[in-house]
Amino acid sequence: MQTITRVAELRSTLAKSRGADRRVGLVPTMGYLHDGHMALIAASQAQCDVTVVSIFVNPTQFGPNEDLSSYPRDFLRDEELCRDGGVAILFAPDTQEVYRSHFETFVEPGDLAKPLCGVFRPGHFRGVATVVCKLFNMVQPDVVFFGQKDFQQCAVVRRMVIDLNLPIEMVTVPTVRERDGLAMSSRNRYLSKEERQRALAINRGLSAALDEFRSGERNVEKLIAVARGHLEAVDRLQYLELVDGDTLKTADSPLRRPAALCAAAYVGSTRLIDNVLLGCQLGSAMRG
């Protein structure tokens, strides 16, 4: 495995792979890797000849009072995990390499960035779309891999790929969970033992609604009520919404289209997100 920090070296190295007509996969991450990331890496390994993992804690997607400075980092451990996972290139640029002096060009996402997390994290998806677009330009992958846990992020990036005619296939990998059902996240390390137990209420609520859906329930309000009934253990429920799987607009009753039940909640000072798909399969986006 090569660890590369400069764009010029990255492009030079990947040019050799493209010259040999090898398929390049990209797994964009902010590091502090866990089994969810490893599932993305495994998916890339299965579908591509060369897997690139990027590690970059992107400052433009954090708000003024969010956890940029304290976001968990352990580069040596990440490097070892990538090597063990068969990654060909670990791309770990610093902030100056990604955002040069006087940087002022951003990707502005549309309506998909406005609901759900967009209400509470203004500017977040602008930062996400910008850094992801930059990574796509730096790596020029054939395929990119994202996790379903970040459902809205997947929707925003997929739309960007289509709208900007990017020659990239996007693959969404199902959410990986801890044995107790908690969706894997780098931020789980913030939780105390007691908080972690209370955080399980999020998955319990979403799973209960999914069970009702599988049993035939199609009323939006009833499905949300089922989930909400399990969420009293969290300290603050930021949102619990059932949205259309494509537009992210509030789903209509009775459900006739693929939908996603999405939640964001604080347990202690830790913000957690999760979702379940109701008759919705997220696959690969068409190439732009």
For 161, other C-beta atoms within 10 Å of its C-beta total 22
Residue 264 to residue 274: CA distance in whole angstroms: 7
Q: What is the full DSSP assignment across 3-71?
A: EE--HHHHHHHHHHHHHTT--EEEEEE-SS--HHHHHHHHHHHHH-SEEEEEE---GGGS-TTSSTTTS
Which of 37, 102, 124, 230 is labelled catalytic?
37
Q: Do the beta carbons of residue 28 and residue 135 sit within 8 Å? A: yes
For 165, other C-beta atoms within 10 Å of its C-beta total 9
Per DSSP, what are the bridge partners of residue 285? 170
User: How far, in whole angstroms, is CA 130 from its chain's centroid?
Assistant: 14
Query: Where does residue 167 rank: exposed (0-12), middle (13-18), buried (19+ CB within 10 A)?
Result: exposed
Residue 24 to residue 21: CA distance in whole angstroms: 9
Residue 18 to residue 141: CA distance in whole angstroms: 10
Residue 203 to residue 211: CA distance in whole angstroms: 12
Does 37 participate in catalysis according to the annotation? yes
Q: Which residues contact 264 (CB under 8 A, 6 or more apart)?
A: 116, 117, 120, 237, 238, 239, 271, 272, 273
Which residue in the block uniquely carries the two structure tokens 């696959």?
A: 283
Looking at the annotation, which residues are catalytic? 37
